[in-house]
Structure 1
Amino acid sequence: MTDLGISLALLATTVLLCEATRILISRLFSGKDYAIYLVEIVSTYQLCACTHELKVLGEVGRIEPHIALTLTFIITVVHVITFHGAFANPNGAIENVYRKNITGKTAVARIICMFIGGKAAQLLVPHIWSLGLSDHHLTHKRFGFKCFSPINGSLLEAAGVELACTFAVQAAVLHIHKLDERFHAPVIAAVITSLVYSGGHISGAVFNPIMAFSVQFPCSGHTFLEYAFVYWLGPVTGMAMCILLFDKIIPLLSGKSTMGIPVVRKKIQ
């Protein structure tokens, strides 16, 4: 089996195992308030573990850009479909506190669960790579699983890219209800894939604080605070600016209210 085939098999296995776990959780803890916290951990693990594999496939496996973008689109669709109400992104929790869908206490608990899921992926995925299932896994192991910062511009430029990407995704999420539900996942995936293509060469185009914590923060090249500035402050600011624009400024200028407009919960990047 080729290296690409092995990576695809690992991605599929990760998703299937996580989906089986979510189904088991829903059956064992049906009606329990804490079930969503377990789903949050599993879904965030799925997101980060798959991203770890895609990252090493691109950086070590050197796959063609069009293949990488195709995989990004497909796996994003899969994430959106399978997350079962999990946010897997702190921005989703923060937004839902603002909209009074969840309490601040619940949001904090779910964000903690996200960190647990992201850290679990960060710790467990290298053990899978250690099995040497493919040449790029062996190469990555030979160099101690080291990775390097994807930031190729200044910190301000990188933070600006993360802000702009998050703004675009948030805008898509706010207006996706206008489309037939069957188009939600592919449209969101298309937006994310386009942003990865546009901004990936500057910041990596992560626009998800938890995914950045799991995948990018361990990489050499910048300090924790520098990464936090780019990958935490940038996305949170982008989300806040988008909500301010569409929920406050535009309605104020047009004399219309956004009350009653359904909002799709952001589940991933």
Structure 2
Amino acid sequence: MAVLVVSLYVLLLVVITCEIARKLLCRERRGYEVYVAEIISTVQLCACSHELQLLSDDAPEIALTLTYVISVVHARTFRSAAGNPGAVLERYWCGSLSGACALRRIACQLAAAAAAGLGMQRAWAFELSDLHARHARSGFACASPIEHVGLLEAVAVELGCAFAVHAAATLTRGVEEKYRVHAVAAVITAVVYAGGSTTGAVFNPALALTSQFPCTGSTFVKNILVYWLGPVLGIACSLLLFNKVIVAFTSKSTSDKDQNLMKKRN
């Protein structure tokens, strides 16, 4: 119970600190606030994910429940920030971001993710709980979850996780925001439960950079393919399905109905 209380306080402190920083630094429109928001929101996402990942070793059920809660909190506080290079690439592919802006936002996310990882190590070094103390004594070492997993299987899991989350976000775009965030959070929790034991279910290249790349048991190239290529392919497949295949099929069906109706009238 003491471990859980400390982790809850850490999560609460991270969210409150980041929200205060957003309100102070992003309230003036000077052109750079979108990058500041990306940095702050990515720090929030990665710091909370690190704490939950650590907590999952001792209390996986509680960590999974908190994953749902913190996903809702992220969705309600991030505003226009993505916190995920895959989401930035989606906006670029859809034409809402220029290439230069997308690259700058991704650079901000990667830098913020690295900073969050170092910041959490500093926080764990205070050994506020037994969980933190054990992790600090191990030198913050971690083992890669894909050490004994085949490359294709690992890529498929990360692809599937990213596809499922993006599909949920796409299908709920017409839903009122206060309900939509819970639907997407539920899907995120489900994919973390389903894929967590295989790859960690990261589906975020920035988060993977700081949570999986430093771990032993996997190579840099394998991490690139699994944690960077996999999620990008998952989002690309979702975009292809919903923006191309389904739209084309729907347009064809509508066209066929109109032609049949015209034939009947004639």
Give the TM-score taking structure 1 as reference length: 0.91
Q: 2:110 & 2:92 partners in 1: Cα distance?
A: 18
Counterpart-to-counterpart distance in 1, 2:71 and 2:175: 18
Which SS does the other structure have where 1:177 is aligned? coil
Structure 1 stretches of at least 4 aligned residues deviating more than 3 Å after TM superposition = none
Q: In the TM superposition, what is the alpha-carbon distance from 1:7 to its structure 2 partner?
A: 0.6
Q: Is the 8 A contact 2:159 2:203 kept in 1?
A: yes
Residue 246 of structure 2 corresponds to residue 250 of structure 1: yes
Corresponding residue of 1:52: 50
Q: CA deviation at 1:192?
A: 0.3
Other-structure match for 2:83? 88
Deviations 1:113-137 (A, max 9, x none): 0011101011111111010100111
Cα distance in 2 for partners of 1:245, 1:58 equals 34
Please report the RMSD computed on the Cα atoms of aligned residues, expressed in angstroms: 1.3
2:29 is paired with a residue whose SS is: coil
Match of 1:217 in 2: 213
Partner SS state of residue 178, structure 1? coil
Q: In 1, are the aligned partners of 2:47 and 2:116 still within 8 Å (CA)? A: yes
Matched letter for residue 93 of structure 2: Y
Correspondence 1:184 to 2:172: no
Find the aligned partners of 1:43 and 1:180 in 2 and give their Cα distance: 23
Instruction: Give the 3-state SS of the residue equivalent to 1:66 in structure 2.
Output: helix
> Given the alignment of the two structures, is residue 233 of structure 1 paired with residue 229 of structure 2, yes or no?
yes
* Equivalent residue, structure 1, for 2:144: 149
State how far apart, in whole Å, the 2-side matches of 1:43 and 1:104 are: 21
How far did 1:256 drift?
5.9
Number of residue pairs the alignment of both structures matches = 252
Q: Which residue of 1 aligns with 2:65?
A: 70
Distance 2:94 2:30 in 1: 23
CA distance in 1, matches of 2:168, 2:181: 11
For residues 247 and 132 of structure 2, what CA distance do their matches in structure 1 show? 52
1:120 equivalent among 82, 93, 115: 115
Match of 1:266 in 2: none
Q: Equivalents in 2 of 1:171, 1:124: separation in Å?
A: 33
Match in the other structure for 2:259? none
Name structure 2 gaps, 5 residues minimum. 254-266
Measured in 2, the distance between the counterparts of 1:8 and 1:50 equals 10
Question: Which structure has the higher relative contact order (CA within 8 Å, separation 6+)?
Answer: 1
Question: CA–CA distance in 1 between the matches of 2:193 and 2:68?
Answer: 11
Shift of 1:168: 0.8
Amino acid at match of 2:107: I
One-letter amino acid of the structure 1 residue matched with residue 75 of structure 2: V
